[in-house]
Structure formats: C-alpha cells, structure tokens
Structure 1
Amino acid sequence: MNKYLLTIFTLLLAVCVSAESPDSTEIAIKEIEQSLKYQTGTIKLKEGHGTLIVPKGFHFLDKEQSSYVLSDLWGNPEDNSIIGMLFPTNIGVLDDHSWGFTISYDPMGYVNDNDANTINYDDLLASNKKDILAENQERLGAGYGSIELVGWASTPYYDNNQKVLHWAKEIKFDGDSANTLNYNLRILGREGIYLINAVASMDELPEVNKNVDQLLASVKFDEGYRYEDYTDGDQIASWTVGGLVAGKILAKTGFFAAILKFWKVIAIGVVGGFSFLWKKISGRKEDVILENETEKLTDDNEEESTKL
C-alpha cells in the first residue's frame, strides 16, 4: 500500500471510529499528529557530513515522515532530496499556523563566492519569473496547479562570515487565496551545500525570521568538511553564489520539486469528505433499519388480518 493510500485509510479509520463524536475531523487530525515520531537532541546528518542540534522550541522528523507531511498532507510533489524537517513544538503539522524547515544536501562541490557582492537581484527575480512560467506546463501536465512568483519576500543577501546565502520568495499557487512563503537558506561547505527552506504561509514570515539565526546555529558541517577546510584540488561547483539564487542549479530537479506549497487543506478536506461519507453511510444504514422495521410491521399487520 503506497503512502497516499495509507493516509486515506488512516483518515477513514479515524473518522469511522469517531463518527459519533461532535468533531470527528479534529479527532482524526489529532490521530495523525500522534502518529508522527519526532526527535530532539543531536542528530547526525549522513548526507554532507554534518550535525544537527535540534534547536530549542523545535523537533525533527526523518526523511520518510517529512515526505509524508509534505506530499500526503500538504500536497507537494515528492522530493527525495529532503532528508528531514524541523517543526515548532507548539504547533501541529495541520494546525492553522503550522510551518516547518526542510533540510536537504547537494554534493555539488565547493561554491565560489567571488560574485556575491556583484549580483543584480532585480535581474535575478525577472529570470526566476520566466523560469517558473516555463515550469508551469510540467506542473499542469502532472495534475498540479500553476504557480506565480510574486516577488522577493526577503531580498537576497550573502553572509560572508557564516558562508550562508539568504533569500525568500512569495509564491502564489493557482486557486489559493493565501500566498506561500519559501524562505531559502544555503549553507556552504567544502564538498557541497545544505539547503534549508522554510515552508509556510506569508503570515508566518515574522515567525520564520525570528528563528532563522537559531536554526543556522544548529546545522554545522563536521570538521574537515567546512567551507574554510577547502584545499587545492577539491571539486569546484559549477555554480557560484549568484547561480544558486538564480535557480539554475535546479535544472536537474526543476522548480516543480523545489518550490514547496504550504497546503494542509488536503488532509482536512479528505477528513471532512470522509466525515460526510460516513454520515451518508450511517444515514443510509438508519434508513435501511427503518425500512426493514416498517416492512416487518406491515407483514405483522397483514398476518393479523389473515388470522381475523
């Protein structure tokens, strides 16, 4: 049974079990949250030779469960590059104001940052918009809605001391009333980069901003794999800092997988749909019982009339 069907089955079971509850949707969502296996403390990141010390106020989901949240609950295309996610401890993944950080690694090599101070971000924004329009045909063909890059939610900048690139995009998904925030962080290392993206609604931007520094302090390359550990002869990435922001590095995966949607209404809608279905089934069952009782009463009356 694939993950999506398993999710459907779990939701249906939860709704059926709690059908007589005044709020079966709320109970089903609670069941989903309790099924997640969060981790805290120090987590070794095999990809990239790094370490994550889960920051205060957050907990971590591994690769498999992160995929479940992103794809099955939030409605994104599957992205096997994501190795885990961080979520605030005080908000469930299906709560009204839920959000999280995805963590990935790309072994692209050592990224030269010589062009960091010469990037024209207005030109990059225009280029990104064109690329996203081109990707929409692929999205539509796969059954997903089109997207629009509204603009920078936070202007890109490069922290030369920490070797971290920051930028944030405001994305509008077709049919959504609220826009999605994709806040991007790229931590540069000797052999590649960690990609950390905040996936949230635009309303959560202040909360994301408040936690960025704490998050960056929690993800570190191990000694020997840090940016400053580079030595002559190491692999050099095909992309500079400007290329990372431009998104050309996404040629092998496409914006199709890289831009994540904050869309928890899938699960809520499914639960609500099953709740309606259960009511229909229950109502039909009651109708059948009433019908049988009526037929039995009629038969009894006819039998009594025959006797008379």
Structure 2
Amino acid sequence: MQRPAVSLIGVPTDIGAGHRGASMGPEALRVAQIDQRLARMGLDVRDRGNLHGPFNPWQPPHAGYRHLPEVAEWNRAVHEAVHAELREGRLPVMLGGDHCLAIGSISAAARHCRERGKKLRVLWLDAHADSNTSTITPSGNIHGMPVACLCGNGPAELTGIGGRTPAVAPEVFRQIGIRSVDEGEKRLVREAGLVIYDMRHIDEVGMRRTMEEALDGVDADTHLHVSFDVDFLDPSIAPGVGTTVRGGPTYRESQLCMEMIADTGRLASLDIVELNPAFDKRNQTAKLAVDLVESLFGKSTLIR
C-alpha cells in the first residue's frame, strides 16, 4: 500500500479555549520532532508552517459566544489550507491550537468527500462531547461547540464554512473516550443521535471491541478523519492540556486505539489539538502525542 504524503499545518491560536497556551501547541509538537519522526517512517513530510489569524482578545462572551468573529476567521483559514492539501492528494495534519479549529478541518474533509463521492467517518478522540450551544454553554468557549456547529447547530459564521449547512450529519461521528458532558449537553447529544463510546463503555468491553465498533463500515470508499484532542488521554500520562479529566485511556489503550486505526489503511486527515505546553512537564505530553501519531501512521512492534 502506498504511503501517504503528509502536510503539517500549524494553527497557533487558543481563540476558542478557556485557558491561554494552546497557541504554543504547534511549536511543542515540532520540538518533539513530529516531522523527523514521521519522515523516518518513510513518509513524505512537508511542514507548511503556521497559518495566521487574529490575536486572542480575551473578552467575555457576547450572545453566548466568546470571540466569534475571530474563531470564524481562523476556521476559514484552516478550511482553505486543509482543503488545498486534500485537493493535492496529500494528508493534512493540523497542529493545533484548540479544538474549535476542527470546524475548519472537518468541514474541509466533508467538502472533499462531496467532491470525490466518498463517505466521511470522523473519530473524535476526546474527554468531552464538544456539542454545546450558546444557550447551554457554561462558559461561551467555542472549543466546546465544534461538533454542534458542524452538525448545523450554531451561528451561521461557523455552520456555513465550506459552503454547506450542516457540514456533516451526526452519524459521521464516533466519539471515543468521553467522560465529561455538561448537563444541558447530555440532552443535545441524545437528540442528535451521536454515537458515543464513553469511558464506561471502554471499561465494560475494552478498547479492542470499542474500536471494532467505531470502525465498522469503514471501507475503500471511506475518508477517515481523526480529531485527536490530547485531553482524550488520562492526565496521569498527559498533563499538558487545559481541561484535564481523570479516568481517561491508559498508554496501552491509547496505543491500541491508534494501531487499530492504522490497520484500516484509511486515515486521510488528522487534527492534533488542545496541547498546552503551559501545563506540561518538559514537553512530555507533546512527546507522547507524537509517539501515538507514529502508531496512527503504522508504527508497530512487529511487521503485521
């Protein structure tokens, strides 16, 4: 099987987050040598540098949203950059940045799928469901809203990115590792019919069965997008995030998750988001994230 050509796209902003610091995530991943590590695996890796957008004004919410104009501008830039790489036949890896940026990257993947007649499957690896709206959000932080916005439940500035509203249907998502859902959000995810494999599910059936279920139906016509929020990981191994939630996947569970995705051979686009070096210890979370991304691209102990 042909190895993918990979393009790294840095998006240095914490515009949608509740803590400063995710803007430093792209550089932390580069310090952890993400480009060299993937290149050593035989991949054609190009670092496209960083996108540019408005500074974080650090203002309170307005009509239920913090920094909506700035979030929209950053996501439009992400959308165009990711779509351009997909159009060239390359695999875009977005180095975030906070998770609001997935509105841009996933809407780009959805647009690409419409153009190529492919099915989209999104694996959302996260501690949070990220399905809040302006009326139920406790904070107004848009990094808690990207799934809702992608499914058409949000402001037009975000739901219309990519030229179609909604950008995707809820059934494209498989959310894995969820363990923190706000009270009002619980009703919304149920009404939307989102498929969620929370930590209780993983505890009961194990990561192998969970991933088999999440990947069921992925075939040669599927564009597989992985949106990897680093707070998916248990904070005992990944402290470098702004929104830690105890009880996440262990190192080995996380490795198995990535290895089983790699086994499909269908990975076509990737987000790495919410890495916050301000909370990290000697860049250990960035190094772990890169380690897991190597597994996602097929690194394994034995030839399989």
Q: TM-score, normalised by structure 2?
A: 0.27
Structure 1 or 2: more strand by fraction: 1
Q: TM-score, normalised by structure 1?
A: 0.27
Rg (Cα) greater in structure: 1
